Amino acid sequence: RSESLVNTYRIACYIKDVDKALKLTEELKAKGYETFINIMAISHALEPELDEALRQIENAKYVDGIYIVDSFGYLYSEQIHYLSEKYISTCKSKKVGIHTHNNLQLAFSNTIEGIIKGVNYLDGTIYGMGRGAGNCTTELLLSFLKNPKFNLRPILDIISSDFIDMMAKYRWGYQIPYMITGSLNKHPRSAIAVMDSKNWKNFTEFYEARIAEEDLV
């Protein structure tokens, strides 16, 4: 750890692989790093599975925290409310964070819901940059928190100078294909693929195809 610029590792895993994530965090903790676990795709997880995973994480002394992760941008504020209470009440000795995706344009409001319920590690990206529909925006979070130690001006400057052009090139952010996969609780891989094709505006065709396919995590 003393030779590394990194001080924290967050291990992302599906709920079936929590035991593997715990093993990895134990190794990282032994090297002096802060460790978090991100259970992905919790909107697909069964309640008993999630309860057991949270208990395992709470009992692991080498894990510092856990994140609520809305991988598919499917969750609404009521579900974030419920999950925040569950994570905080079960993982009493852990830090709790939240990571949202903007498929339904709820990344910011869902993050606020987490704040209200006591979540204190918040993920944000400048101009919402991220996979597919993107994430909660840093500039909105800073504006909401209204803490004088946060200076919004450099963020606004870099959005003006770099991120507007980058967004036009890489096309992250809310788009109908991402809305469709989010509303159907599906992985955005198909939406990402269609956004790179000439047929990306065939929204109804894309919607029908997503309804017809089997769920794949």
End-to-end CA distance of the chain: 34
How far apart are the C-alpha atoms of 139 and 195, rounded to whole Å? 26
Give the position of tokens 């992250």. Answer: 172
- pLDDT for the residue numbered 215: 63
Residue 3 is predicted with a pLDDT of: 86
pLDDT at 217: 55
pTM of the complete model? 0.94
Sequence-separated (6 or more) residues with CB below 8 Å from residue 60: 22, 25, 26
The CATH class, in words, for 8-123 is: alpha beta
Cα separation of 20 and 60, whole Å? 13
Q: What is the pLDDT of residue 75?
A: 99
- The domain ranges of the chain are 8-123, 175-217
Please choose, from the candidates 93, 89, 97, the residue with its C-alpha nearest in 3D space to the C-alpha of residue 37. Answer: 97
Cα–Cα distances (Å) from 125 to 4, 29, 42, 131, in that order, read 24, 26, 21, 11
Splitting the chain (217 residues) into consecutive groups of 10 residues, what average pLDDT does each group show? 91 98 97 98 97 98 98 98 99 99 99 98 98 98 94 98 97 98 97 96 97 75
Q: How far apart are CA 217 and CA 205, in angstroms?
A: 21
